[in-house]
Amino acid sequence: MTTLTNRVESRPLGTPAGLLSGWDHLEWWVGNARAAAHFLMAGFGFSCTAYAGPETGVRDRASYVLEQNDIRLVVTAGLAGRSEVADHVRRHGDGVRTIAWATTDVDGCFATATERGASAVAEPGDHADASGSVRRAVIGAFGSTELAFVDRSAYDGPFGPGFSAEQVPTLSIGRPVGLDRVDHVVGNVEKGRLDEWVEWYRRVLGFTEMRHFDADQISTEFSALRSTVMWNGDGVVVPLNEPAEGSRRSQIQEYLDAYTEPGVQHIALRTSDIIGAVDEMRTRGIRFLTPPETYYEDARLRCGDIDVPWRDLQRLGVLVDVDAGGHLLQVFTETLGDRPTLFVEVIQRVGATGFGEGNFKALFEAIERDQGRRGNL
């Protein structure tokens, strides 16, 4: 059985998927990078490890690199009203612009992807300074989202040329949160285009289908969605969602309306101690969706005799699910910005390889309650 935690030897050779070694970083384009960096440091426990801006010779934008164990985020804001970053934020709000994957063969990834139909955004090139060079290439994906292939094996600086580790903002509050790695990154696409993008990931990148959920598996009284989970066979997991027919507007359609195009809906971050992580994040002010009062009674019956701290899970609003491999614990933040778009999932896997299928109904009902408060259901 393929899993999300163990390397497999069936990665598709001769494709970009087979050349990826993991997640390099996720870049968010935001209205205020300094404020976004502070929010992620204060609420999620990230440390700022590098900065780029006018003080480092970068004239058109400011970027902060935030790290926690194997997770690396970059938040970037434009410094001029007519910059491409500022224009993107005006149209879409804060959101993930670039999904960057690590590889030692940037040229091979780019050549194969573009030969198979990907649009070229930036051809392979070296970005060098006194600390070495970072090789990078970029292709287009759904909406304005870009996919980058990055090789930083010849670079020993803080992040890349134009970035400095000097005079970065620091913040020391509370205990470590304990977020370890990116588990998966979810994209939302328009109704009727899920199969098209699944085929694009298969044909262009060499990803394979891991799971598929139809509308009758992911639905509530009011709304539904379809979802296909694509992956490279070795830990790079990209679920894709589309809205389905329902009596009211689904969470996916609300996202598409607010973001005005397809994009990244949420980022799932893995932890080995979700109780400690969520407890600390709540103390730091992060707000999470709350399951209905009957959820835990139903979950105990559904999950059987598993060894989990039920009282703490209920206190923190953490959801539970089981599959053939074990169990998982997961919780979802409210949307991070003013628009109902990007949010974060925190997940702990104890052998389980699924995505909380048993929690779909409770989760989506919680999301719908938020939609109802906004008047968008």
- CATH superfamily, domain 179-374, is 2,3-Dihydroxybiphenyl 1,2-Dioxygenase, domain 1 (3.10.180.10)
Please write the tens of the pLDDT for every residue from 56-110. Answer: 999 999 999 999 999 999 999 999 988 999 999 999 999 999 999 999 999 999 9
Segment 205-222 shows an average pLDDT of: 79
The arithmetic mean of pLDDT across residues 208-214, rounded, is 91
Classified as helix, coil or strand, 294 is coil
Going by C-beta distance under 8 Å and a sequence separation of 6 or more, which residues neighbour residue 305? none
pLDDT confidence bin for 362, thresholds 50/70/90: low
User: Alpha helix locations (H) across the chain?
Assistant: 16-19, 33-44, 84-92, 106-115, 194-200, 251-259, 274-283, 295-303, 310-316, 360-374
Check whether 370 has a pLDDT greater than 90: no
Q: pTM of the prediction?
A: 0.92
The CATH homologous superfamily of the domain defined by 16-151: 2,3-Dihydroxybiphenyl 1,2-Dioxygenase, domain 1 (3.10.180.10)
Percentages helix, strand, coil for the chain (3-state, rounded to 5) are 25, 35, 35
Least confident of 108-122, 135-149, 257-271, 345-359: 345-359
Confidence of residue 294 (pLDDT cuts 50, 70, 90): confident
If one compares 30 and 370, the residue with the highest pLDDT of the two is 30
Q: Check if 16-151 and 179-374 are the same fold.
A: yes
- The domain locations on the chain are 16-151, 179-374
Of 42 and 214, the structure prediction assigns the larger pLDDT to: 42
pLDDT over threshold 80, residue 339: yes
pLDDT digit string, tens, across residues 5-37: 444 445 566 899 999 999 999 999 999 999 999
